[in-house]
């Protein structure tokens, strides 16, 4: 069994669990703590340390962490819905110092999309899969034949001179008190634009509202099939954990949740 830990940092909660990477099932309880008010880096790092401690993660078990920003070589490059202090911060190194272990650090929607391809709605689907998460913002993941193209940020496409997520996210629906029908008109415009640019083979819609997909997905008319995510609240955890271990890397295979990685200090190279 290959195990890893996934941590999903969001605007309201930070979740973590130990994952079986072959089945995509959680091997531990899912621990969720509230995101500290203000979302300051040191407070979020302390919360992640608390979750890893509560999970009782053994040394050497790979840890993947996902975060709602562009992540370039471990540095957070944007902060659309989090504290501005994250911009230009060497976040991966900050977590590693506090945790005393290597981590793999990725964008939250990239993690969710990768999880859906590996374990969920796009399992076995070839070609171009685009996942979007509809939440406070709009996150996106582009995956071609199982390979993730990171940091696509399709939530920030400019449509009619406006940042798309400001009009079409779930938060925008709530802010403007839109019915599902009126929100679906905005979604139609958004997904038609995405489809015109990328011609995906499959569109997946994630985020908390995807559990109510029957209210809005049937109202959309697109060439590609558009389906709800199936991993729901666990997608970020599963994807972050899976991306922390390169597929086919047998050096991280262990009988239980305790792991002996190849050699101390050696960081597994992941898919991005």
Least Å from the CB of residue 85 to ligand BGC: 15
Least Å from the CB of residue 133 to ligand BGC: 5
Question: Would you count residue 108 as binding ligand BGC (CB under 6 A)?
Answer: yes
Question: Would you count residue 69 as binding ligand BGC (CB under 6 A)?
Answer: yes
Which residues between 193 and 232 bind ligand BGC (CB under 6 A)? none
Question: Would you count residue 68 as binding ligand BGC (CB under 6 A)?
Answer: yes
Q: Which of 3, 107, 152, 234 binds ligand BGC (CB under 6 A)?
A: 107
Backbone phi, psi, residue 178, to 5° = -85, 140
Q: Which of 165, 242, 243, 244 binds ligand BGC (CB under 6 A)?
A: 165
Q: Which is nearer to ligand BGC, 53 or 176 (CB)?
A: 176
Question: Would you count residue 234 as binding ligand BGC (CB under 6 A)?
Answer: no
Kindly report the three-state secondary structure assignment for every residue of the chain.
CEEEEEEEECCCEEEEEEEECCCCEECCCCEEEECCCCCCHHHHHHHHHHHHHHHCCCCCCCEEEEECCCEECCEECCCCCCCHHHCCECHHHHHHHHHCCCCEEEEHHHHHHHHHHHHCCCCCCCCEEEEEEECCCEEEEEEECCEEECCCCHHHCEECCEEHHHHHCHHHHHHCCCCHHHHHHHHHHHHHHHHHHHCCCEEEEECHHHHHHHHCHHHCCCCCCEEECCCHHHHHHHHHHHHCCCCCCHHHECCCCCCCCCCCCCCCCCCC
Least Å from the CB of residue 66 to ligand BGC: 9
Backbone phi, psi, residue 142, to 5° = -110, 125
Least Å from the CB of residue 254 to ligand BGC: 31
Q: Which is nearer to ligand BGC, 228 or 257 (CB)?
A: 228
Least Å from the CB of residue 73 to ligand BGC: 16
Q: How many residues bind ligand BGC (CB under 6 A)?
A: 16
Question: Would you count residue 111 as binding ligand BGC (CB under 6 A)?
Answer: no
Question: Would you count residue 239 as binding ligand BGC (CB under 6 A)?
Answer: no
Question: Would you count residue 133 as binding ligand BGC (CB under 6 A)?
Answer: yes
189 within 8 A of 159, measured Cβ to Cβ = yes
Least Å from the CB of residue 79 to ligand BGC: 8
Q: Which of 16, 139, 150, 236 binds ligand BGC (CB under 6 A)?
A: 139
Question: Would you count residue 39 as binding ligand BGC (CB under 6 A)?
Answer: no
Tokens of 91: 């976040």
Which residues contact ligand BGC by CB under 6 A? Answer: 68-70, 78, 80-81, 107-109, 133, 135, 137, 139, 153, 155, 165
């Amino acid at each position: 069994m290959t195990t890893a830990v996934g941590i999903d940092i969001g605007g309201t909660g930070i979740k973590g669990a130990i994952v079986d990477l072959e089945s995509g099932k959680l091997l531990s309880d899912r621990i969720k703590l509230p995101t500290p008010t203000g979302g300051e880096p040191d407070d979020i790092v302390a919360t992640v340390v608390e979750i890893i401690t509560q999970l009782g993660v053994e040394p050497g078990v790979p840890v993947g962490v996902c975060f709602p920003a562009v992540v370039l070589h471990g540095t957070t490059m944007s902060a659309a819905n989090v504290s501005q202090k994250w911009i230009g911060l060497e976040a991966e190194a900050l977590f590693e110092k506090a945790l005393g272990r290597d981590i793999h650090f990725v964008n939250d929607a990239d993690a969710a999309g990768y999880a859906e391809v590996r374990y969920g709605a796009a399992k076995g689907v070839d070609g171009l899969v685009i996942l979007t998460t509809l939440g406070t913002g709009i996150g996106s993941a582009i995956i071609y034949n199982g390979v993730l193209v990171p940091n696509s940020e399709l939530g920030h496409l400019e449509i009619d001179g406006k940042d798309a997520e400001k009009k079409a996210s779930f938060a925008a629906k709530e802010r403007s008190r839109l019915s599902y029908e009126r929100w679906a008109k905005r979604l139609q415009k958004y997904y038609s634009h995405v489809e015109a640019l990328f011609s995906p083979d499959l569109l997946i819609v994630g985020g908390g509202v995807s559990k109510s997909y029957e209210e809005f997905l049937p109202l959309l008319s697109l060439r590609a099939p558009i389906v709800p995510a199936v991993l729901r609240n666990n997608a970020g955890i599963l994807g972050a954990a899976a991306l922390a271990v390169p597929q086919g890397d047998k050096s991280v295979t262990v009988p239980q949740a305790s792991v002996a990685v190849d050699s101390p200090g050696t960081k597994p190279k992941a898919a991005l």
